Structures are given as C-alpha cells and as structure tokens.
Amino acid sequence: MEPTRNSHATLVDLLDRVLDKGLVIHADLIISVAGVPLIGVNLRAALAGMETMLKYGVMTEWDERTRAWEREHRKKKEISAVPGEEIILEMLGSYYYSEGIYTAWRMGRIYLTDKRLIVYHPSFEEVLFETPLEKIKGVALEIEEKYFTAKERENLCLLLKSGDVVRLHALDTLKLKEALEQRMSTLGLGWQEVPSLAAHDERTASFLSQGEEAICSGKMWHLTSPRGIMAESWKPGHLYLSNKRLCWWYDFEGKVGFEIPLDRIVGSTVGTRNLRPTPKNSKVLDVIYHNDLGKQVASFAGDELWQWEKALNQIVLQPVLASTKEADTCPQCGREGQANELLEQGCVYCGWVSPRLRRQLRRSALDGAAR
C-alpha cells in the first residue's frame, strides 16, 4: 500500500497536523489569542470542502470519485505560457466544478491572456480550467440566486464549441466579461450572447440527452400522485422545458421525477385552486397530456406560471397549427369542444364537468358556506 499526500482528499490530514501540532513555544514569547482557537473545528471541515459532501451524505462515492479523478488528472500541471503570450487581465475568481455529485466552486486566479482563458490555483499548482479563446461559442452573464440567503451573484457562463458549459465567478465578473469580449472581437472571433444558457445548470448536465437543449427552467412544486400509503402531495423541485420534453426534477431524490414528451402534451392552463394546508387560493399550472391511460393532468405551482403557459402553448401547439389537437370531445355528450375549456369550465352543451373541476367547485362552495 502506498501512502498518499498531495491530493484534495488528504487536505484534512494536512490541516489536522498544521493547525494543531508542531513545536511548542512558551506563551509569553508568542502572539496568541488566549483561549480562543484561531481555527475552529467546523471551519476546518469547511476549509477541506467537506460540508458540500456531507450535505449529500454520500461521501464514500465522492471519495472514490475524487480519488479516481485525482489519479487521472493529478499530474502537477503548471501554466506553460506560449512564447510571446501576454496576460491581459488577472483576478481572483472561482470555477464551478461539477462531476456527478461532486460539485464545488474552486477558487483560483483567472488569467485572460491574448490567446486563452485560464483558471489556475497557485498553491496546488493546478490548472483548474483552460480554453483557447477560439473555442468559446457563447458568452452570458447569469444571475444566480443563493439558496438560503436570497443574495444574488453574477456568474460568467461560457458555452464552448464542444458543447460544454463552463461557469466562472470573478471578483469583478462584469469587467472580466467585457475584457474577454473585447479581446475576442480584436481577434475577429464571433460569439453568441446566449440568454438560454440560464437554463443550463448542474441538473441539466445530468439528464439532457444529445441534441436536447433546455429552453426554460424554474423552481416549481409538483403535485405527485398517490403512491402506496402516501397521499397525493406537493413536492418541491425544478421544472424544465426542453425541445424534446417537459420534465420535473425532484430535488430530494436528485433526479427527474416526472416527464412528458412534447408530442404528448395537449395544452396547459393556469387556474386557481385551494392548496392545502394554506387556506388561500393559489395559482396552479395544469398541463394536459395523453398517456396510455388516457387524458391526464399534471399540476405545478410556482412563479411566472403565465410565462410557462405561454411557452408551453407556443412550443406544443405551434407545429400542430389547426385545432385538431386542441379540440376534444365531451365524454358525456360526444360533442366537440376546446380541450382546456372542457377541463376548466365543463361542456357548454350538456353541462358535463370533469371530476377535478367538480371537486374544486365543491370546495369553493363549502368555503363560501363556511364564511
């Protein structure tokens, strides 16, 4: 068995020694903050980047993956400048590393040279990321909302010609973007301002297939159907509309929990419903689609529902111009009507009402009576 030392995985072993041990000197000779440890235990875990891993609770996998990654990539890479290469801009920044479940912002120095963009970590002597400027296809500024603090931060998103998406953050992200764009135009390179990059994130990386692109995304709650002893309930996650399907990522399980291929979607509508346990009425997006069991409705709740409705109706109904898919037949009287109207308001001819609508009407009638 060979001992290891220079890897991210042994950072904690190093810190345990450098922070706590070594030669001891009499207190009156040295500067110290009496009684207060300069580096606390939790901070030490954070320094080693353990917190992210502990959050996912699957450190064994992470450790194996890190070791495998380290074995592959851990040749001490130094920046070798091409002769005549000049550094245009240099600043502190970080690079978003995402490989399976190991995701982290890795700190380093960002160098924009006249030929490349590099992120380098001097203490580890490691090149975290490097690309020649010609390989950059799209540039976008993305606003990332921090989960709990609700603070926003600007990230620089690069779409490379290889199809990879790279995320960087710098002390002055805007300045970096401008300098990068300036250099690229000086070199005569074109690039796209790609707003849809916002839809790419660590989740899409794992479930989008070849040729599939995410068009819209957003935080959405989904009403999951009854399963075993669990009743139907609203679960938090993220909804994605791509050029192939509508899928919903379940945060808790870390994977796609529900999806509909675009050609199965009939339409969508925003309605109001009484969502337990809150007594007030909330806006809900109902997506109507076909499956083997017939017509179904999937419900979502969140922000910007009208935008979603519009996007869905555009994407879905456009190729199917004339109303063939929009139309539907009333199950009671057999007459034709608009699909979403039938669901929302019932049949104008015979007064048939869908079970869902009936429940809704009953509930609001009860509310009215209670008041």
Partner 1 sequence: MVLDIDEKSLKHGVLGLVIALVEVIRDALKLQAMKRMEGGSLTEEEVERLGQALMDLDVAIEEIKEEQGIAESVKSVRDGLDDIVDDVLDQMINPQRWKEEAEQRA
Partner 2 sequence: MQYSDKTEVASRAEAIEEQGRYLYCVVDSGEKVSFGEIGIEGKEVYAILYRDICAVVHNCPAQPYRSDDQEVVKAWVMTHQKVVDAAWERWGTVLPLSFDTIIKGETEGSAERNVQDWLKQEYEGLKSKIEKVRGKAEYGVQVFWDAKVIAENLTRTSPEIRKLDEEIRLKPRGLAYMYRQRLENLIKREMESKADECFKDFYSRIRKHADDIRVEKTKKAEQGLQMIMNLSCLVYKDRYTELGEELDKINQLEGFSVRFTGPWPPYSFVGGA
Residue 350's binding partner, choosing from partner 1, partner 2, none, with beta-carbon cut-off 5 to 8 A by kind?
Answer: none
Partner from partner 2, partner 1, none contacting 25, C-beta within 5 to 8 A by type: partner 2
Q: Is 55 in the site for partner 1 (CB under 8 A)?
A: yes
By a kind-dependent CB cut-off of 5 to 8 A, residue 230 interacts, out of partner 1, partner 2, none, with: partner 1
The binder of 39, among partner 1, partner 2, none, by C-beta within 5 to 8 A per type, is partner 2
Residues sharing a CB contact under 8 Å with residue 22, sequence separation 6 or more, in sequence order:
none
Q: Residue 176 — φ and ψ, nearest 5°? A: -65, -45
Does position 58 bind partner 2 by CB under 8 A? yes
| Cα distance between residue 307 and residue 92, in whole Å | 37
**Residue 299, Cα to own-chain centre: how many angstroms?**
21
Nearest to 70 by CA among 166, 14, 4: 4
**Site membership for partner 1, residue 151 (CB under 8 A):** no
One of 148, 190, 227, 228 touching partner 1 (CB under 8 A): 148
Beta strand 233-242 with 152-160: parallel, antiparallel or unpaired? unpaired
**Residue among 27, 35, 47, 100 that touches partner 2 (CB under 8 A):** 47
Number of residues that bind partner 2 (CB under 8 A): 38
CA gap 13, 6 in Å, rounded: 11
Rank residues 27 and 150 by Cβ distance to partner 2 and give the closer one.
27
Residue 332 touches which of partner 2, partner 1, none (CB < 5 to 8 A by kind)?
Answer: none
31 binds partner 2 (CB under 8 A): yes
DSSP string, 168-223: EEETTHHHHHHHHHHHHHHTT---EE-GGGGG-SHHHHHH--TT--EEEEEEEEEE
Out of 6, 56, 178, 350, name the contact with partner 1 by CB under 8 A.
Answer: 56
- Taking alpha carbons only, the member of 181, 56, 189, 215 closest to residue 134 is 189
Residue 235 lies near partner 1 (rule: CB under 8 A):
yes
The distance of Cα 213 from the centroid of its chain, to the nearest Å, equals: 14
| 287 burial level (CB within 10 Å; 0-12, 13-18, 19+) | buried
Please name the residues in contact with 367: beta carbons below 8 A apart, sequence gap of 6 or more. 274
Asked if 14 interacts with partner 2 (CB under 8 A), we say yes
CB of 261 to partner 1, least distance (A): 27
324 by Cβ neighbours in 10 Å (0-12 / 13-18 / 19+) ranks as exposed
Report what 123 binds from partner 2, partner 1, none; CB cut-off 5-8 Å by kind: partner 2
Cα separation of 77 and 197, whole Å? 30
Q: Which of residues 89-118 bind partner 2 (CB under 8 A)?
A: 107
Report if residue 277 touches partner 1, rule: CB under 8 A: yes
The site for partner 1, by CB under 8 A, has a size of: 19
Closer by beta carbon to partner 1, 162 or else 278: 278
Residue 207: CB minimum distance to partner 2, A: 24
Output 63 or 263, the one with its CB closest to partner 2. Answer: 63
CB 315, CB 305: distance < 8 Å: no
Alpha-carbon gap, residue 186 to 189, rounded angstroms: 8
Does residue number 42 form part of the binding site for partner 2 (CB under 8 A)?
A: no
Token pair belonging to 90: 């240099």
233 scored as a contact of partner 1 (CB under 8 A):
yes
Closest CA to 75 of 119, 110, 124, 117: 124
Could you tell which of partner 2, partner 1, none binds residue 252, using a CB distance below 5 to 8 A set by kind?
A: partner 1
Which of 23, 29, 36, 150 is close enough to bind partner 1 by CB under 8 A?
Answer: 150
Q: Could you list the residues that contact partner 1 (CB under 8 A)?
A: 41-42, 54-57, 147-148, 150, 219, 230, 233, 235-236, 251-252, 277-279
Binding residues (CB under 8 A) for partner 2: these are: 1-5, 10, 13-25, 29-33, 38-39, 43, 46-47, 57-60, 62-63, 107, 123-124
